[in-house]
Chains A and B, each alone.
Chain A
Amino acid sequence: MKNIFLIAGKELKSYFASPIAYLLMAAFGLIFGFTFYVATRDMIRLSMQSQMMGQQQPMNVNDSIIRPLLGFAGTITLFLVPMITMRLIAEEKRTGTIELLLTSPVKDNEIILGKWLGAMLLFLCILGMSLINIAILFLWGKPDLQPVLVAYLGLILQGGCLLAIGEFISTTTRNQIIAGGVTFFVCLLLYLLNWFTAFDNGVVSQVVGYLSIVTHLDNFSKGLLSIKDVIFYFSMIFFALFLTSRSMESLRWRS
């Protein structure tokens, strides 16, 4: 347990020792801020228009700003994750520091969990940038808190799942570019899987749709916390980390 935190702390420090952490935080903050501005502006216009036309349609901050924005943040995650995970283990393999980790009295699983946790912490820092905008809504409006929390939980779970997949892919190569590229395409594929179900409701479609990370995130961003979706993310995280540990073990046999 101590080792997991030790490695996670080291990973987080490494991220902040290079420009990557600041770059990702700034980029995410910028894009999120931009979409926040657009969504808020449009909502204000729409509500003014509807008032002028005499319609008494109550506008809901949760539905018209927070939900689409946090849903969009889930999409940005696809781009963030490869950049976070590409170096995780590929870099250690390239510079040979993996030999230090694997010859220290630390279990493989502690290394894997530590690295995943470090990546998670950076992801949380990046996601934290969006709180600046959400805080503005809470200062001048009265959105419901609960659906916001659920949506964030969804984003965190989805992030954890994609980061675990990214970590697995990072163990398979010593080239960061390959690790990052493959991770991006795998994330994209998982994201697109729900297209499969758009006009088809067969068993295969249902299974494929279930595997899509978006289907589950949708529920979260609607503010629906269902145990089914939580279990989906946890099982995906567990499965990806399990693959990582297998892959780490095979490193020893092949390298």
Chain B
Amino acid sequence: MIKVEGLTKRYARTVAVDNISFEVEKGQIVGFLGPNGAGKTTTMRMLTCFLPPSEGKANVAGFDVVEHPMEVKRRIGYLPETPPVYPEMAVDEYLDFVGRLKGISNADIKRRVDDSVAKCALGDVREKLIGKLSKGYRQRVGLAQAIIHNPDVLILDEPTSGLDPKQIIEIRDLLRSLAGDHTIILSTHILPEVEQSCERVIIITQGRVVAMDTVANLTNRMRGSEAIAVEIESGAGNPTVSEAQQRLEQISGVSRVLAKEPKDGRLRFEIESLQGRQIRADLARAVVNAGWNLSELASVGSSLEDIFLQLTASEQKSALPAAPAEPETPAEVQPQ
């Protein structure tokens, strides 16, 4: 449904998105995970034809974003970071306007508005001015706006930001009910969020994709597997790098052996176990049985976990001061 190849966005001095590629199948929910400034929003803006890419291709719902933007726009629903609502309009009126803007015919418009009001639980406030609504309701109006024309692809930039826990659960349920018919990409910086609502995760940081996998695989790798650093003395009677690597790979329970730069006359490897397997004893035995000198065997955190830690750590720092920056009711309509 979505196919991205080598997508790059360059600004005068910075590269916001650097050569990313991924694919999303129809009906999937995919999470974009990354710290602030990682390029999530820029990527989404390119997918929605808001920004043209500097390089690379993006194909959304069967159409190229540069060559056929109109066709793409017809088939996407987009919720930007701040919901694009007009505070001086009532919810009903706003959805009617957006619906028509998205090309819904006069005959269908009422039904579609009712439908998205119902789906986003906006029944109580549909006649209120959007400017008078709380942040959570405004977010839901933004979501209602994105789904009103029943698009093939939904692109949601932090759909749960600013919501209370109950509302977050409601939005999650809503997203899950929408998946299947719709392909959904949502960005977030909250790890549990991804675990709960997404099937696949794309982790990006500094404009690059650093990991891309199903949630199950990622969490398994994070929780069940361990990474172990092994150092073996080289020299007489000891193996070459490739010999040692081959030997280590044969041990049952090992999923991956990474040879690192030898140091101080020692061969160094980083070994990842399969999920839930304890391989340290087997490793030690294998090395000793081969007659080599084992000089070190230590557990290291998995690289994936490092990424997550790095992400969540930088997130916590930036999330706190960012929160009060969005007042409950910003002054939109200033008397001029």
Contacts and interface: CB of A to CB of B under 8 A. Distances in A.
A2 B100 CA distance: 9
Contacts of B82: 95-96
Contacts of B89: 13-14, 17
B172 interface: no
Question: Could you say which of A23, A95, A96, A99 has the most chain B C-beta atoms within 10 Å of its C-beta?
Answer: A99
A97 B80 CA distance: 9
A99 B142 CA distance: 12
A14 B101 contact: no
Question: Could you say which of B48, B51, B84 has the most chain A C-beta atoms within 10 Å of its C-beta?
Answer: B84
Nearest to A104: B101
Interface in B51-76: 51-52, 70, 73-74, 76
Nearest to A3: B101
Given A18-B333, A96-B84, A97-B84, A252 B52 contact: yes
Question: Could you say which of A20, A83, A87, A95 has the most chain B C-beta atoms within 10 Å of its C-beta?
Answer: A95
Contact of A18 (B50, B88, B98, B145): B88
A106 B163 CA distance: 31
Given A6-B97, A17-B88, A105-B70, A99 B336 contact: no
A103 interface: yes
Contact of A99 (B84, B88, B93, B103): B84
B133 interface: no
21 contacts: A6-B101, A14-B88, A18-B88, A18-B333, A20-B336, A86-B336, A87-B336, A95-B84, A97-B86, A99-B45, A100-B80, A100-B145, A103-B48, A104-B102, A105-B101, A105-B103, A106-B73, A107-B70, A180-B336, A252-B51, A253-B51
A103 B51 contact: no
B84 A105 contact: no
B86 A14 contact: yes
A228 B48 CA distance: 45
Contacts of B103: 105
B74 A99 contact: no
Nearest to A177: B336
A189 interface: no
B321 interface: no
Question: Chain B contact residues (Cβ within 8 angstroms of A): what range?
Answer: 20 to 34
Nearest to B52: A252
A6 B100 contact: yes
Contacts of B137: none
A2 B78 CA distance: 22
A23 B336 CA distance: 9
B49 interface: yes
Contacts of A14: 86, 88-89
A10 B70 contact: no
A14 B45 CA distance: 27
Given A7-B101, A14-B89, 14 more contacts: A6-B97, A10-B97, A17-B333, A18-B88, A18-B335, A20-B336, A23-B335, A95-B87, A99-B78, A99-B80, A100-B101, A105-B70, A107-B70, A180-B336
A102 interface: yes
A55 interface: no
Interface string B83-99: 01111110001000110
Contacts of B70: 105, 107
The 7 closest A-B pairs by CB, nearest first: A100-B84, A17-B88, A105-B73, A97-B84, A103-B48, A105-B74, A99-B80
B77 to A, nearest CB: 9
A19 interface: yes
Contacts of A62: none
B113 to A, nearest CB: 15
B320 to A, nearest CB: 23
Contacts of A83: 336
Interface in A81-113: 83, 86-87, 95-107
B87 to A, nearest CB: 8
Nearest to A101: B101
